[in-house]
Every structure is written in C-alpha cells, then in structure tokens.
C-alpha cells in the first residue's frame, strides 16, 4: 500500500490538474475559433466584419483568460490526503 502511495506522489500533476488543463485548452480553442473568419466573399472587396466586437475584443480576452487558467492549473497544489 505504501509503495502505491509513494509512486502516486512522484507525479508532478494530479488528475484534477489535468482536468483543469483540459478546460483551459478548450477555452483557448474557443477563443481562436471566434477570432477566425471575417473575410470578404469577393476578392477585391473590403469587409468591415473583420473589426467586429467578437474578433477584436471577445476572442482575445478568451484566449488570454485560457492561458491564465492554464498557468493556474499547472501551479495548483494537490490536496493532501491522509
């Protein structure tokens, strides 16, 4: 039993850390998807859609929040179970 506990404690991250990392990764991907698009359907026509709130404000905030959450997920210490 002690060998299993010792082996388990050798890992730097726990299952909870990996779940939080996955959540942060999904937030970053959603931000990148929201940032994409906005091109014109015609070759020589400019589209004002590229300057929409979604692409210039919302998406970068989501990407930045996702990266900050990733840092938190890595730095979070596991709960000590006795």
- Mean pLDDT, to the nearest integer, of 23-52? 87
pLDDT at 8: 53
15-44 mean pLDDT: 90
- Is position 6 within any domain? yes
Q: Is residue 45 part of a domain?
A: yes
* Domain membership flag for residue 82: no
How many independent structural domains does the chain possess?
A: 1
User: Cβ(64)–Cβ(34) under 8 Å?
Assistant: no
The larger pLDDT score, comparing residue 3 to residue 10, is at 10
In the chain, the percentage of residues whose pLDDT exceeds 90 is 54
Q: Is residue 34 part of a domain?
A: yes
pLDDT at 1 over 60: no
Mean pLDDT of 21-47: 88
Predicted pLDDT of residue 82:
54
CA-based R_g, the chain, Å: 20
Range of the domain at 31: 2-75
Q: What is the mean pLDDT of the chain?
A: 86
Q: How far is CA 52 from CA 29, 58, 61, 77, in A?
A: 19, 9, 14, 39
Those residues whose C-beta lies under 8 Å from the C-beta of residue 30, and which sit 6 or more positions away, are 62, 66
| Backbone CA torsion sign across 64, 68, 74, 79 | negative
State the helix-helix crossing angle for 59-75 and 15-35, rounded to 10 degrees: 170
């Amino acid at each position: 039993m002690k060998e299993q506990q010792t082996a388990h404690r050798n890992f730097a991250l726990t299952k909870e850390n990996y779940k939080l990392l996955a959540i942060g990764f999904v937030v970053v991907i959603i931000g990148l998807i929201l940032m994409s698009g906005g091109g014109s359907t015609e070759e020589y026509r400019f589209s004002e859609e590229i300057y929409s709130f979604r692409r210039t404000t919302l998406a970068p905030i989501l990407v930045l929040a996702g990266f900050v959450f990733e840092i938190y997920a890595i730095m979070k210490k596991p709960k000590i179970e006795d």
